Structure 1
Amino acid sequence: MGLMDNGLKYGLVTRILHWGMALLLLWQLGAVIAGEVLGETSFTDAIGSTHKPVGLLLFILAVVRAVWGLLNLSRRPRAHTGLIGKMAVAGHVVLYSLLLFVPSVALIRQYGSGRPFEAFGLTIMPGGHDKIEWMTKLGGDWHGELAWMLLAMIVLHLGMALFHQFVWKDDTFKRMA
């Protein structure tokens, strides 16, 4: 299997980015759902403490994946034609946009809070400045709401992958598996 996409299937880099992000998103969204269901416990506090660092990692991977996807655009396996193909492209654009926008507004909120942000032993934002209200409001208003929308898009994406596999039987799933 080559590194690059090749028109018939996705390359190794695309697959690693796809499945790596899928696992991190499962962790991230699972931790949030656990917090909603179980409330504040030592377990939810422990997994909740990973939310910001994992979110930053997801943001970095989403940027890398978007750039990689653009570099491979002419090599990617062909989508369906007609309305179905246009809907698939639109769905992927929304998915990628949310993968970029959800952590972006969280980072804006973090900066606006004036508090430091450290992840993986690195200082990402030193903090120490006054709170910037519009930044904290932007993140507060949009981060959580759009994260739930992202979850809905992920469920739709998974549903369509299964539909391709078991109804249309067109090997779409094999190209990424």
Structure 2
Amino acid sequence: MSGWLDTPQRYGRISQAFHWLMAALFAWQFAGALLYVGIGDTALTRFVGASHFTLGFTLFVLVWLRGAWGLANLKRRPVHADRLGRAATFGHALIYALMITVPSLALLRQYGSGKPFSPYGIPLMPERESKIGWMILPADLLHYWLGFTLLAVVLGHAAMTFIHWKLRKENVLARMT
């Protein structure tokens, strides 16, 4: 199991795979959202956005699996001991909270809409004739804004690796690569 599990010096291959797979999927999600905001409804935004629901669901499942894996490895993981480390812990908790909340709102809206949802052909939500307004409203109000908040926090997360490297002379990125 050497290399697969996390250690106090670095994250193992499974944690790294979760991290970089999710980073790539989020990059695609954010690219689609930014394209839509930037250029509106075009063939390009429809192409990129066509996978938004399915990838959002995939990310929702992955964040729960990654969280469970992280908890199972918690005592083996690199430690964040100083004040900046505590800020990193808070930042990671915020990222996880947003990674759970944003797709949860979308799934709630999807169910409330009465439209079917079958990611990868798996029927999760059947079609219904009526809408449930209270399920649609929270996502209509918050999904967009919390999604862009997640983007800002993720960009801050990436920026902190640069700050660690340049100002503190710590290559924290090496732990995840």
TM-score between both structures, scaled by the size of structure 1: 0.96
Query: 2:76 aligns to what SS in structure 1?
Result: coil
Residue in structure 1 matched with residue 38 of structure 2 by the alignment:
37
Map of 1:120 onto structure 2: 120
Partner residue in 1 for 2:66: 65
Distance in 2, matches of 1:54 and 1:166, equals 34
Q: Does 1:50 align with 2:43?
A: no
CA RMSD of aligned residues (A): 1.1
Match of 2:131 in 1: 131
Structure 1 runs not aligned, ≥5 long: none
Identity of aligned residues (%): 38
Counterpart-to-counterpart distance in 2, 1:168 and 1:127: 54
CA separation in 2, counterparts of 1:87 and 1:42?
41
Q: Which amino acid aligns with 1:24?
A: L
CA drift of 1:61 comes to: 0.5
For 1:162 and 1:127, how far apart are their aligned partners in 2?
Answer: 47
Q: What amino acid does structure 2 have at the position aligned with 1:33?
A: L
**DSSP-derived class of the 1:125 partner:** coil
Number of the residue aligned with 1:158: 158
Secondary structure of the 1:124 match is: coil
Post-superposition Cα deviations, 1:51-92, rounded to whole Å, max 9, x if no partner, equal 0000000001001111111111100011142x2222111111
Distance, in Å, in 2 between the alignment partners of 1:27 and 1:64 is 20
Q: Given residue 9 of structure 1, which amino acid in structure 2 is its aligned partner?
A: R
Cα shift readout 1:12-41 (whole Å, capped 9, x = no counterpart): 000000000000000000011011111111
Find the counterpart in structure 1 of residue 144 from structure 2: 144
| Structure 1 runs of 4+ with >3 Å offset | none
Work out the number of aligned pairs and report it.
176
Q: Which stretch shifts more, 84-93 or 16-25?
A: 84-93
SS of the residue aligned with 1:117?
Answer: coil
CA shift at 1:127, angstroms?
2.1
Cα offsets for 1:102-151 (capped at 9, x unmatched): 10110011001111012112222112142111100011111111001100
TM-score (ref. length: structure 2): 0.96
Amino acid across the alignment from 1:176: M
In the alignment, the residues of structure 2 paired with residue 162 and residue 47 of structure 1 have an alpha-carbon distance, to the nearest angstrom, of 29
Whole-Å separation in 2 of the counterparts to 1:129 and 1:4: 48
Inter-partner Cα distance in structure 2 for 1:162 and 1:121: 41
Moved more, 34-43 or 55-64: 34-43
Please give the alpha-carbon distance, in whole angstroms, between the structure 2 residues aligned to 1:160 and 1:98.
18
